[in-house]
């Protein structure tokens, strides 16, 4: 069930309530509610008995609108007894702040997505303290969405059921690192997605810091979380940029022997020198060297200019060669299931035929089932 800005607001302002009158008698059956734009008038008509089946709420507020608008009617939705998932999604920054949403009324919430919402770090942490059963969290930090925190300082947050954490960091990675460090209990975390557009050379004015970023890459905000707080036996999926500090990334890999899926990506700005320090060399299996990520099954690389086809081929073949045994104490190297690469350069080598030829010559079964997909876009930027 959904409403548009013109739909709900238009009917309310013009006194045409027939659509709403038709909907309200059936709201007690509604499990999934999606409200777009000005939805305050609709929420004001709801009563607790009409929300008994509601499990999923998605709102997409818009900036501006009615000057008398208030977010207080959200309390009716957040207090729904079966509410499990709440999403606040918008393509542009809205007027709503995380402090406007009464999350304390939804202690059983398991899924939370916040996009283009004003999200001071301390307010986010205070909110998470009210959501101990959270299993999925996706949140976006933007400079333009910041406001002064309205809650006292929070030092630690325990999320014992959190399995998926996705952070879009378009603000200040050093402060985001502080946010990560406040998450002290995440034993079930199995996926971390960390994307950033704030880490670019154009954002650095200091020449010394700029040169350090070129040489060493950008510091990874989630480094301490991965190396000190995550249970590596449970962690399965890692999504990070290619421009992070190489030593930090490798140390994270050492702590994640059961990782099965790795996504590496880059966001480039036009007219900017690309920072791309990480390549596949450390993941190539070498004799008498502990194998990094021995259980890796799925790998994708997006928007890489510098990882070569030759390195990709050596990586894949080394993984095939290591199938019978491994020098790691964790067990055997597993067979790759998928490798997808999107490269911002010319094609240098035919990888797929070379892999198949090697498998045929070596008589190794199962290699033909590996899904290999490579795209080359030399003129994309």
What are the pLDDT tens digits along the chain (381 aa)? 444 333 344 444 455 555 667 778 888 889 999 888 766 777 777 888 889 999 999 988 876 555 455 677 789 899 999 999 999 987 666 678 888 899 999 999 999 999 888 888 888 999 999 999 999 999 998 765 455 656 667 789 999 999 999 999 887 777 888 899 999 999 999 999 998 865 555 555 566 666 777 777 788 999 999 999 999 999 999 999 998 999 999 999 999 999 999 999 987 655 455 667 788 999 999 988 889 999 999 999 999 988 999 999 999 999 998 876 434 434 578 989 999 999 999 999 999 999 999 988 888 777 878 999 999 998 765
Do 189 and 312 lie in one domain? The reply is: no
Do 72 and 171 lie in one domain? The reply is: yes
Do 288 and 277 lie in one domain? The reply is: no
Do 93 and 13 lie in one domain? The reply is: yes
| Residue 270, Cβ density class (10 Å: 0-12 exposed, 13-18 middle, ≥19 buried) | exposed
What is the predicted pLDDT for the residue at 73?
A: 78
Do 294 and 277 lie in one domain? The reply is: no
Write down the residue that tokens 């959501």 correspond to. 131
Last residue within a domain, chosen from 258, 282, 306? 282
Do 365 and 236 lie in one domain? The reply is: no
Give every CB contact of residue 374 below 8 A, 6+ residues apart in sequence: 309, 312, 340, 341, 342, 343, 347, 351, 352
What is the predicted pLDDT for the residue at 322?
A: 85
Last residue within a domain, chosen from 247, 282, 317? 282
Q: How many domains does the chain divide into?
A: 2
The secondary structure of the chain in percent helix, strand, coil, rounded to multiples of 5, reads 30, 20, 50
DSSP 375: E
Do 326 and 271 lie in one domain? The reply is: no
Do 234 and 97 lie in one domain? The reply is: yes
Last residue within a domain, chosen from 282, 311, 336? 282
pTM of the model: 0.87
- Taking the CA atoms of residue 118, residue 123, residue 128 and residue 131 in that order, the dihedral angle to the nearest 10 degrees is -80
Q: How far is CA 77 from CA 36, 52, 80, 133, in A?
A: 15, 10, 5, 18
Is residue 303 within 8 Å of residue 266, measured between CB atoms? yes
Do 31 and 118 lie in one domain? The reply is: yes
Do 176 and 162 lie in one domain? The reply is: yes
Do 292 and 265 lie in one domain? The reply is: no
Domain that holds residue 368: 283-381
Report the 10 Å Cβ neighbour count for 150. 14
Do 262 and 297 lie in one domain? The reply is: no
């Amino acid at each position: 069930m959904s409403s548009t800005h013109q739909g709900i607001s238009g009917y309310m302002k013009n006194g045409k309530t027939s659509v709403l009158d038709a909907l309200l008698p059936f709201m007690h059956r509604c499990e999934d509610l999606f409200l777009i734009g000005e939805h305050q008038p609709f929420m004001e008509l709801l009563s607790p008995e009409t929300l008994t089946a509601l499990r999923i709420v998605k709102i997409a507020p818009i900036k501006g609108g009615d000057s008398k608008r208030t977010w207080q009617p959200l309390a009716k939705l957040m207090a729904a007894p079966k509410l499990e998932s709440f999403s606040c999604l918008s393509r542009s920054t809205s007027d709503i702040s995380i402090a406007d949403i009464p999350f304390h009324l939804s202690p059983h919430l398991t899924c939370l997505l916040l996009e283009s919402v004003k999200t001071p770090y301390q307010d986010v942490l205070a909110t998470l303290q009210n959501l101990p059963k959270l299993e999925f969290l996706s949140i976006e930090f933007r400079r333009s969405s910041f406001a002064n925190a309205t809650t006292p300082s929070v030092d630690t947050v325990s999320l014992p059921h959190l399995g998926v954490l996705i952070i879009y960091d378009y603000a200040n990675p050093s402060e985001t690192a502080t946010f990560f460090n406040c998450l002290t209990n995440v034993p079930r975390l199995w996926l971390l997605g960390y994307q950033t557009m704030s880490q670019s050379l154009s954002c650095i004015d200091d020449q010394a810091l700029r040169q350090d970023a070129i040489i060493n890459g950008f510091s990874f905000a989630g480094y301490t979380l991965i190396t000190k707080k995550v249970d590596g036996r449970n962690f399965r999926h890692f999504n990070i940029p290619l421009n992070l500090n190489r030593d930090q990334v490798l140390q994270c890999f050492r702590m994640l022997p059961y990782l099965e899926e790795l996504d590496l990506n880059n966001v480039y700005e036009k007219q900017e020198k690309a920072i791309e320090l990480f390549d596949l060399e450390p993941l190539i299996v070498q004799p008498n060297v502990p194998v990094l990520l021995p259980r890796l099954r799925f790998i994708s690389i997006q928007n890489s200019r510098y990882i070569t086809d030759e390195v990709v081929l050596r990586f894949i073949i080394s993984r095939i060669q290591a199938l019978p045994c491994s020098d790691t104490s964790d067990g055997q190297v597993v067979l790759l299931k998928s490798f997808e690469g999107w490269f911002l350069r010319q094609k240098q080598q035919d990888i797929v035929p070379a892999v198949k030829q090697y498998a045929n010559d070596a008589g190794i079964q199962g290699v033909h089932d590996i899904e290999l997909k490579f795209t080359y876009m030399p003129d994309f930027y």
